[in-house]
């Protein structure tokens, strides 16, 4: 079965949709939610440790989006705007939630070099996300912000209130740890694949 890849986001008339949402039309609001909910839950899922937490962040994020939709000036891309609100909401959630506070820490460690190891990522997106979620919360946040969101270490330092070097160090450790797990998972999968027949 050939997977159907549809990029109907670009075909969507965002301006009309946003204007209808601002008018308070429930259908438009539902439409906006349906468009972004699944991808945004994927974003939230990477920053949290449970699906329930991710859904909490998603809910909070969408409430913010609808409350502040009047600030969207149709200059940038709606998807980017929505995503940034969601990432921001996720960071706030981590800050407020005591479970994450104890785990989120950024000790000023010495600079750790980024390894040159670049293994091929063959696993599914969900599984990769699961591995990232098993990183310590601090590593997880920095890794998500740098590797996935594309923030520089300077920006991450500003966002999290840490040194740029700390961000680099945390990222290097997170990367090394993740690569190790990736290799292990790949080996285990191959073994199972071999044993299964």
Partner 1 sequence: MSDHEFEKQVHQKLEELKLRPSDTVWMEVQKKISQDKRRRRFLWLWLPMLFICLTTSGYILYRFTWNTENTSNIAKAVPASISNEPNAETSNISTKQTSTIKPVSNNNSQTQKNTTAPIQKSDNNQPDVITPAAAHETTSVSTLSSKKQPAIVVTEKNIEKKTIGSKNKKQTQQTLVDYANGNIPIEGMNNITPSSVKPRYRKKKAAKEANAIKDAPVQQELVRVEEVKREQEEAMNVTMPTMVNDVDNSIATNKAVTMPFMSRYGHLLRPDSLSAANAAVSIPRKRPSLWHWGVVADVGYSRIAESKLLQLRGLFGEKYLAEDLSPSASPTGVTSGANSFNFSASTSSKKASPIQPDLSYSVGVFVQRALSPRFKLSLGVEYTYMSVNTQVGQNVKQPIVISTDTVNGKVVPEYYKTPGYSSTNADATLNGAAAISQRTYYDQKYRYRFQYLEIPVLANWQINKGRKLPPVVLEGGVSISHLLSVDALHFEGARGIYYKDNSLFNKTQFNFLTGISVGLLQRSKHPVWVGPNLRYSLNGLVDKNVSTGQYLWSTGISIKMLLGRL
| Residue 83 burial (10 A CB sphere; 0-12, 13-18, 19+) | middle
Kindly identify the residues of this chain, within the stretch 45-74, that bind partner 1 according to CB under 8 A.
Answer: 45-46, 49-56, 58-59, 62-64, 66-68, 71-74
Q: Please count the residues of this chain forming the interface with partner 1, following the rule CB under 8 A.
A: 125
Quote the least distance from Cβ 140 to partner 1, whole Å.
Answer: 11
Nearest to 114 by CA among 86, 142, 136, 83: 142
| 3-state SS class at 117 | coil
Kindly identify the residues of this chain, within the stretch 16-45, that bind partner 1 according to CB under 8 A.
Answer: 16-17, 24, 26-31, 33-34, 37-39, 41-42, 45
176 binds partner 1 (CB under 8 A): yes
Quote the least distance from Cβ 127 to partner 1, whole Å.
Answer: 5
Neighbours of 21 (CB within 10 A): 22
164 binds partner 1 (CB under 8 A): no
**CA pair distance 193, 137, nearest whole angstrom:** 32
Q: From residue 162, how far is each of 39, 95, 146, 157, 177 by CA, in Å?
A: 29, 14, 14, 5, 21
Quote the least distance from Cβ 76 to partner 1, whole Å.
Answer: 3
Quote the least distance from Cβ 128 to partner 1, whole Å.
Answer: 5
142 binds partner 1 (CB under 8 A): no
CA torsion sign for 65, 66, 70, 75 is positive
Looking at 47, 85, 140, 168, which residue binds partner 1 (CB under 8 A)?
Answer: 85
Quote the least distance from Cβ 197 to partner 1, whole Å.
Answer: 15
111 binds partner 1 (CB under 8 A): no
């Amino acid at each position: 079965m050939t997977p159907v890849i549809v990029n109907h986001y670009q075909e969507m008339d965002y301006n009309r949709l946003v204007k209808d949402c601002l008018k308070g039309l429930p259908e438009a609001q539902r439409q906006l939610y349906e468009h972004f909910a699944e991808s945004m839950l994927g974003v939230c899922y990477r920053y949290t440790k449970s699906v329930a937490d991710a859904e909490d962040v998603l809910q909070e994020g969408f409430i913010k989006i609808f409350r502040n939709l009047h600030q969207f000036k149709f200059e940038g891309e709606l998807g980017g705007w929505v995503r940034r609100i969601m990432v921001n909401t996720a960071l706030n959630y981590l800050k407020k939630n005591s479970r994450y506070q104890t785990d989120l820490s950024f000790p000023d460690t010495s600079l750790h070099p980024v390894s040159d190891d670049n293994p091929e990522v063959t696993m599914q997106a969900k599984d990769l996300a699961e591995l990232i979620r098993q990183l310590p919360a601090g590593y997880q946040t920095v890794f998500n912000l740098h590797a996935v969101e594309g923030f520089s270490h300077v920006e991450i330092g500003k966002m999290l209130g840490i040194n740029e070097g700390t961000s680099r160090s945390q990222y290097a450790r997170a990367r090394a740890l993740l690569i190790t797990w990736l290799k292990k998972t790949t080996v285990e999968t191959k073994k199972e694949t071999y044993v299964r027949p």
